[in-house]
């Protein structure tokens, strides 16, 4: 296809002979170019239909072809960092027929998956990890005397802004006898344009500082001026990452060196698909179901939790000039676009560096500001030590806003935000909130930013924000959403699970079971008001979109026991294991976290039979 954005009609297929890496090694350059174009059309067709990471994969088609023509996977180990740029690798390793199921329940994963193929050695969607894997694998091969195996790490989409990469480079560069080939896929972007001194250095190496990444110098850069060379690695490049022949020559040269080397490839994210190439905000980095002609969603978008946060933080910024925002390479996905446009000097994108983001926020707070750190829930776990020792120990007022909390859906186990509300409550002085609706998000965000003596956290899912749910009244910090005076059952509805809890209460009322529904609003630490409300009921069930271990139900049960109450308290949450990809609703329903499943669980706890044919598809967690 051309770069005009046009492509073949839906139903683009790949040749049947494309059954594995060996099938592309004997192709002529003309045949390779034709295959690359066909793969590009195939990806646009499939990913626009299913959703997934589009821009990153369109940019690595020629690069991945070159890798599989030079190296013998899986004997030679290819490690993709981050894993969302591995779609072409999946195609070339025999999984092309599975793309209709991409990121769907039981279907093809959007990241490398060891269960899918022996060509996927690691499962990763957290960036900046591949060089450490590569260092360890190279050491293992040396110890095992497997000197004929090569380790190739493909680093791209801003991964070099992450600190782990530089910790690994420090070790790799100091071991000249362990050859690791680092393929630097330099497209100048992570989600947004890559930031910082490393990005500027790469631009200088490519001769592209201050200009579009479209014109490459035709000679190898003076390695004496390369930062990589200073660390003990050889440096080759820059090379045109869309010239398969040039890349093959560079990769063969790198392999022949037999010591650590960086091969610098300059690529264009979204290559060959004009909507993606022109995408300044990187909305086409990952897409839902979109129109392939325009790259726009097929259906009208509804307000999301992210958009509600984005609007409110902008309003708060206008009212308080001490509020600043920090993000780790994701200003648009975390909802900071409006804030950044209104207050460009008060938003800081630190790159894919969550640990640095948190401690930098601690510095901002020490300097008299109130930082709001906007991250995906799954990525905050990378900076737990910094939350604990750099923020909480100093009782600093830093607010963490965790997008994609709980079940995220099609991105799978490494992206589910299942851990934050079980891990963070152990941090002394930290307060954690879970809004049930848009109004509570706005309310709790303002309450969090008003806290001056320690960290606060706000968590919400990747989902459409539903309608507001009014409270009957408030007791301290807790909202009573439905009241029963009979003291039978109390559902503690955490965040957006308030809606299915209320529906479950309606179903249970029809079975003669009176139910009180309470939204604690702040779920850590356990509120004395919540304990007092729970003491008045026979059974209390905390319903949560998190892993059961360490969840609110367990902590509430401990508090009730300590108070001398005989109330039975239980956690109804997700099992403590990695969950596969599927839609958010499918996963919640599979684990009984919908209205029918909640009602069933309550009746089982009460020892009654549930008169319905609806049953959870998984065993109810205890």
The DSSP call for residue 618 is S
Is 585 labelled a binding residue? no
User: Residue 586 corresponds to which tokens in the numbers above?
Assistant: 């499918």
Per-residue confidence (pLDDT) for residue 218, from 0 to 100: 40
Q: Which of 96, 125, 93, 120 is nearest to 24 (CA)?
A: 93
On whether both 223 and 86 belong to a single domain, the answer is yes
Distance from C-alpha of 591 to C-alpha of 608, rounded to nearest angstrom: 20
Q: Which residues contact 62 (CB under 8 A, 6 or more apart)?
A: 36, 241, 242, 243, 244, 247
Active site residue 608: no
Q: Prior bond to 375 cis, omega within 30?
A: no
Long-range contacts of 288-292 (CB under 8 A, 24+ apart): 288/51, 289/48, 289/49, 289/50, 289/51, 290/48, 290/51, 291/48, 292/7, 292/10, 292/44, 292/45, 292/48
Is 354 labelled a binding residue? yes
Distance from C-alpha of 362 to C-alpha of 385, rounded to nearest angstrom: 13
Specify whether the CB–CB gap between 169 and 131 falls below 8 A.
yes
The DSSP call for residue 58 is H
Active site residue 269: yes
Per-residue confidence (pLDDT) for residue 184, from 0 to 100: 93
On whether both 391 and 533 belong to a single domain, the answer is no
Specify whether the CB–CB gap between 543 and 521 falls below 8 A.
no
**C-beta neighbour count of 323 within 10 angstroms:** 19
User: Residue 511 corresponds to which tokens in the numbers above?
Assistant: 């079975």
On whether both 455 and 549 belong to a single domain, the answer is no
- Look at residue 226 and tell me if it is in a domain: yes
Per-residue confidence (pLDDT) for residue 190, from 0 to 100: 60
Of 395, 428, 459, the last residue of a domain is 459
Of 287, 317, 343, the last residue of a domain is 287
On whether both 138 and 88 belong to a single domain, the answer is yes
Pairing of strands 473-475, 515-519: unpaired
Is 126 labelled a binding residue? yes
Specify whether the CB–CB gap between 261 and 236 falls below 8 A.
yes
On whether both 428 and 504 belong to a single domain, the answer is no
On whether both 199 and 225 belong to a single domain, the answer is yes
Write down the catalytic residue from 46, 69, 382, 436.
382
Is 495 labelled a binding residue? no
Query: What are 170-213's pLDDT values in tens digits?
Result: 999 999 999 999 999 998 776 566 677 777 778 777 775 433 34
- Look at residue 11 and tell me if it is in a domain: no
Per-residue confidence (pLDDT) for residue 205, from 0 to 100: 79
On whether both 169 and 84 belong to a single domain, the answer is yes
Active site residue 619: no
On whether both 503 and 370 belong to a single domain, the answer is no
- Look at residue 619 and tell me if it is in a domain: no
Supply the CATH number for residue 395's domain. Answer: 3.40.50.970
**C-beta neighbour count of 615 within 10 angstroms:** 12
Write down the catalytic residue from 62, 248, 354, 507.
354
Is 187 labelled a binding residue? yes
- Look at residue 151 and tell me if it is in a domain: yes
Write down the catalytic residue from 90, 103, 213, 269.
269
Q: Containing domain of residue 324, as a range?
A: 305-459
Q: Which of 433, 421, 426, 353 is nearest to 389 (CA)?
A: 426
Query: What are 388-408's pLDDT values in tens digits?
Result: 999 999 999 999 999 999 999
- Look at residue 40 and tell me if it is in a domain: yes
Per-residue confidence (pLDDT) for residue 158, from 0 to 100: 77
On whether both 81 and 223 belong to a single domain, the answer is yes
Report the SS3 class of residue 11. coil
On whether both 198 and 138 belong to a single domain, the answer is yes
Average pLDDT for consecutive 10-residue bins of the chain (622 residues)?
42 86 92 95 91 90 97 96 91 94 92 92 86 96 95 88 90 92 86 71 67 41 67 92 94 95 91 76 67 72 92 98 95 94 96 94 98 96 96 98 94 90 97 98 98 98 94 97 91 98 96 96 97 95 94 95 92 93 93 96 76 37 34
Task: Report helix angle 130-143 to 163-173, nearest 10.
Answer: 30
Per-residue confidence (pLDDT) for residue 607, from 0 to 100: 83
> Which residues face 376 on adjacent strands?
403
On whether both 116 and 265 belong to a single domain, the answer is yes
**How far lies 345's CA from each of 45, 322, 324, in Å?**
40, 12, 9
The DSSP call for residue 620 is P
Report the SS3 class of residue 191. coil
- Look at residue 16 and tell me if it is in a domain: no
Structural domain tally of the chain? 3
Per-residue confidence (pLDDT) for residue 485, from 0 to 100: 81
Of 235, 252, 287, the last residue of a domain is 287
Per-residue confidence (pLDDT) for residue 188, from 0 to 100: 77
Distance from C-alpha of 82 to C-alpha of 311, rounded to nearest angstrom: 30
Handedness of CA 333, 335, 341, 343 (dihedral sign): negative
Element (H, E) at 286: strand 286-287
**How far lies 503's CA from each of 49, 526, 554, in Å?**
33, 25, 24
On whether both 32 and 169 belong to a single domain, the answer is yes
Is 569 labelled a binding residue? no
């Amino acid at each position: 296809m051309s770069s005009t954005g046009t492509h073949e009609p839906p139903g683009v297929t790949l040749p049947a002979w494309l059954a594995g890496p060996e099938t592309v090694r004997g192709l002529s350059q003309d045949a390779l170019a034709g295959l690359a174009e066909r793969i590009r059309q195939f990806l646009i067709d499939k990913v626009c239909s299913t959703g997934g990471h589009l821009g990153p994969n369109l940019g690595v088609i020629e690069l991945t072809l070159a890798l599989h023509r030079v190296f013998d996977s899986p004997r030679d180990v290819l490690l993709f960092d981050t894993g969302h740029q591995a779609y072409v690798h999946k195609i070339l390793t025999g999984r092309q027929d599975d793309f209709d199921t991409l990121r769907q329940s039981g279907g093809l994963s959007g990241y490398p998956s060891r269960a899918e193929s022996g060509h996927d050695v690691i499962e990763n969607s957290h960036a900046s990890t591949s060089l450490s894997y590569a260092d360890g694998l190279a050491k293992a091969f040396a110890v095992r005397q497997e000197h004929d195996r090569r380790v190739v790490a493909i680093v791209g989409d801003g991964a070099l802004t992450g600190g782990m990469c530089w910790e690994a480079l420090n070790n790799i560069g100091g071991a000249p006898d362990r050859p690791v080939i680092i393929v630097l896929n330099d497209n100048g972007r992570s989600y947004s344009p890559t930031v910082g001194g490393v990005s500027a250095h790469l631009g200088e190496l490519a001769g592209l500082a201050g200009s579009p990444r479209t014109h490459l110098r035709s000679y190898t850069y003076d390695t004496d001026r390369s930062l990589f060379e200073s660390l003990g690695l050889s440096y080759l490049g820059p090379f045109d990452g869309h010239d398969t022949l040039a890349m093959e020559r560079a990769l063969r040269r790198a392999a022949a060196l037999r010591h650590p080397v960086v091969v610098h490839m300059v690529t264009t994210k979204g290559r060959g698909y004009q909507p993606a190439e022109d995408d300044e905000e990187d909305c086409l980095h990952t897409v839902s179901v979109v129109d392939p002609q325009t790259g726009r969603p097929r259906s009208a978008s509804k307000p999301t939790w992210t958009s509600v946060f984005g609007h409110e933080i902008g309003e708060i910024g206008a009212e308080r000039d001490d509020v600043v925002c920090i993000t780790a390479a994701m200003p648009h996905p975390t909802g900071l676009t409006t804030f950044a446009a209104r207050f460009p000097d008060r938003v800081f994108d630190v790159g894919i560096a969550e640990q640095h983001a948190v401690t930098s926020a601690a510095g901002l707070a020490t300097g008299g500001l109130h930082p709001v750190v906007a991250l995906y829930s799954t990525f905050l776990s990378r900076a737990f030590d910094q939350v604990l020792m750099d923020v909480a120990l100093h009782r600093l007022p830093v607010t963490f806003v965790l997008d994609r909390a709980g079940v995220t859906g099609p991105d799978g186990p490494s992206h589910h935000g299942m851990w934050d509300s079980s891990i963070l409550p152990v941090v002394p002085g930290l307060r954690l909130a879970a809004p049930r609706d848009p109004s509570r998000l706005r309310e709790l965000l303002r309450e969090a930013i008003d806290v001056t003596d320690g960290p606060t956290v706000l968590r919400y899912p990747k989902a459409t924000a539903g309608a507001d749910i009014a409270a009957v009244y408030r007791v301290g910090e807790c909202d009573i959403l439905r009241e029963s005076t009979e003291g039978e059952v109390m559902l503690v509805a955490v965040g957006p699970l308030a809606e299915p809890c209320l529906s479950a209460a309606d179903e249970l009322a029809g079975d003669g079971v009176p139910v009180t529904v309470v939204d604690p609003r702040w779920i850590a630490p356990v509120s004395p008001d919540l304990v007092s409300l729970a003491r008045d009921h026979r059974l209390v069930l905390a319903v949560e979109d998190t892993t059961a271990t360490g969840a609110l139900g367990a902590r509430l049960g401990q508090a009730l026991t300590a108070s001398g109450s005989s109330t039975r308290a239980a956690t109804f949450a997700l099992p403590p294991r990695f969950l596969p990809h599927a839609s958010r609703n499918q996963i919640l329903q599979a684990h009984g976290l919908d209205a029918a499943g909640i009602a069933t669980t309550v009746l089982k706890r009460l020892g009654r039979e549930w008169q319905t044919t609806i049953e959870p598809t998984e065993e109810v967690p205890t």
